[in-house]
Amino acid sequence: MDYCITNLTEHGDSRGMLISIEEGIDVPFDIKRIYYIYGTEPDVRRGFHSHKNLIQLLVCVSGSCKIHLDDGYETSEVFLDSPKKGLLIKNFIWREMYDFSKDAVLLVLASEKYDESDYIRDYNDFLKFARREK
């Protein structure tokens, strides 16, 4: 499946930790947009979409959450429980985010600006797109 988990480099000293993410070095794309999801209510599941042309790096910078991934053939679950763990997701991967801890802040770096026409929000449409791409 077109995703990978990367270990971000931590710069720590006696004061605490710092992680830096640079385009072209820590992410293989130009960062055109940043957003973050927080204050998620208990038992909420969100996402339920795929993209036609978007690469994203997800980092749960506080707390934890789970990500369900589906490429139309197989599914996978990723537990984001560390600010050091980056989840890189490419095109035509259906994603759902769930099990957010109360303190979860999910940071997302994206290769494109927000464009609703890039979304595939219907699961059956996603399956058609994903299987055509293979």
Catalytic positions are 49
In the bound complex, what is the minimum distance in angstroms from residue 10's beta carbon to ligand TYD?
27
Q: How far is the CB of 33 from ligand TYD (least distance, A)?
A: 6
CA-derived radius of gyration, the chain: 15
Selected from 3, 19, 47, 62, the binder of ligand TYD by CB under 6 A is 47
Q: Is 63 a residue that touches ligand TYD (CB under 6 A)?
A: no
| Binding to ligand TYD, residues 99-128 (CB under 6 A) | 114
DSSP summary character for residue 127? H
Cβ of residue 106: shortest distance to ligand TYD, in angstroms?
A: 9
DSSP annotation string for 58-125: EEEEES-EEEEEE-SS-EEEEEE--TTEEEEE-SS-EEEEE---TT-EEEEEESS---GGGEE--HHH
Extract the tokens encoding 10.
Answer: 């931590």
Tokens of 100: 């957010």
Nearest residue (CB) to ligand TYD, 17 versus 88 = 88
Question: Residue 49 or residue 84: which is nearer to ligand TYD going by CB?
Answer: 49
Give the interface segment with ligand TYD, choosing from 13-21, 33-41, 59-67, 81-89 (CB under 6 A).
33-41
Which residue's entry shows tokens 């763990």? 85
Q: Is 6 left (phi over 0), alpha (psi -120 to 50) or beta?
A: beta
**Residues 66-105: x/- map of binding to ligand TYD (CB under 6 A)?**
----------------------------------------
